[in-house]
Amino acid sequence: MAVVNVMKAFHTRGDRAEVAGVGLKLLGDDEALLSEFAEFVGSRTLDELRRAAAQAAAATTKRKKGAASSSSSTAAKKTKPETVETTWRVEGDDVLGHFFARDGSLARVDAWTRRQGRKHYRGTLLLGAQRGNLVEVSDTVLNELGHSAKVEDHLRAIPDFETLAGADAPLVRGAAEKLALAAKIEAQPGWSAMFEAVVWAQDKPTEPKWPAIVLDPIALDDPKLRRRAIKFLGAKHLVRFLGFPQSSSLGFVAPASLSPYADHDPEIDKAAKLARKPRARFEDAVNEAKVLTRKPAQNRAPPPLGAKIGVTYLGDDRVYACTVVRDPDTGELSVRSPDFGPDEPDTIPFDPNEDDWRPLEDPPPTAPAELASSSQARERESAA
């Protein structure tokens, strides 16, 4: 009876099915006790009691398995290393678009990020079996490898690049053509000495000489024009005639038809005979040539305030008599002249290094040192 009382107390706190299972274990084979217990828990027969106990046991086993699985999953989550997602940027760095050679291939920098206080760059391989794969380098490694915006600067470091997969891509093929052109130019002694020179060029004997600049064909992006330059190499220079739109100003001129450009040249006087429209073009060309041939800025001491100077402005040969002043609003060094037109401001900013100017009032000449000393000696003798 004590066992029944214990089970009654457990039943008041537990589940009916669980109580049935516990009761069957404790009461054993005593039919009288089992019948009394079955009646107490609400089972009509012992078989119904046993079925409830079996269901409770199965539910308990399933619950334990689920708890064990959840526990192991939680433990796995705790031990799994955390991964930090990297944000790659495709703008905001001057190195983007540069090229570098590494491991026998060519890579282009496509993105960058900052990690642990340092910059890292991601590049796409363009040559070889790994073409299309991504590589990552730190800023230190990239600087050691060397990088630039010119593909041809790095192809030289890749042995037999012409045989690698991707060598037929327009980017690589164009750079290879530039390398071949550079080798041919080096084989022509003195040919490159004229590159970037401003000259007088005469395309045809019946046409006037015209300001032009000799171009370096290696710098050309147009492959057709590069191939023409190779064809005329050693016979004609590629020039750009100034004063025209660049798309319609290129031509090939023999060295004998080129001469050094000078501001004061008889060719400028001949332009007065040109018709109005070509004369305007010629004046534009001369002004552009003046800009291209302007000497680097010199560190000239500024004239003192109130000094009288003559200033010549680009495109205007007139010398303006000016007074050096300081702009009351900006505080910048400026000049004022009665020769400025009515549409001009009262003062114009003045830069002693950039502007073409000269003093109009020269200081009195200083006597040589030996003459000054003898003059002073005579003055002391007369005073004595």
Distance CA 218, CA 179 (A): 8
Listed range (192-201, 261-270, 275-284, 330-339) with the worst mean pLDDT: 261-270
Instruction: Assess contact for 195 and 216: CB atoms under 8 A.
Output: yes
Residue 352, SS3 per DSSP = coil
Rg (CA), the chain: 47
Structure tokens at 140: 């230190």
**Phi, psi dihedrals of residue 218, rounded to the nearest 5°:** -65, -30
Looking at the chain, the whole-number percentage of residues with pLDDT higher than 90 is 35
Alpha-carbon torsion, ordered 335, 336, 341, 344, to 10 deg: 60
Q: How confident is the model at residue 319 (pLDDT cuts 50, 70, 90)?
A: confident
| Residue-level pLDDT at 244 | 87
pLDDT tens digits, one per residue of 339-376: 887 777 878 899 988 888 889 865 434 434 443 344 44
| Residue-level pLDDT at 126 | 94
What are residue 323's DSSP bridge partners? 308, 336
Residue 290, SS3 per DSSP = helix
DSSP character string of 297-347 = PP-PPPPPTT-EEEEE-TT--PEEEEEEEE-TTT--EEEE-TTS-TTS-S-
Residues 6+ away with beta carbon under 8 Å from 341: none
pTM over 0.75: no
pLDDT tens digits, one per residue of 58-74: 766 666 666 666 665 65
- Residue with the larger pLDDT of the pair 42 and 382: 42
Distance CA 64, CA 70 (A): 10
Looking at the chain, the whole-number percentage of residues with pLDDT higher than 70 is 69
pLDDT tens digits, one per residue of 75-90: 555 555 555 567 899 9
Listed range (6-15, 83-92, 109-118, 335-344) with the worst mean pLDDT: 6-15
Instruction: Assess contact for 297 and 324: CB atoms under 8 A.
Output: no
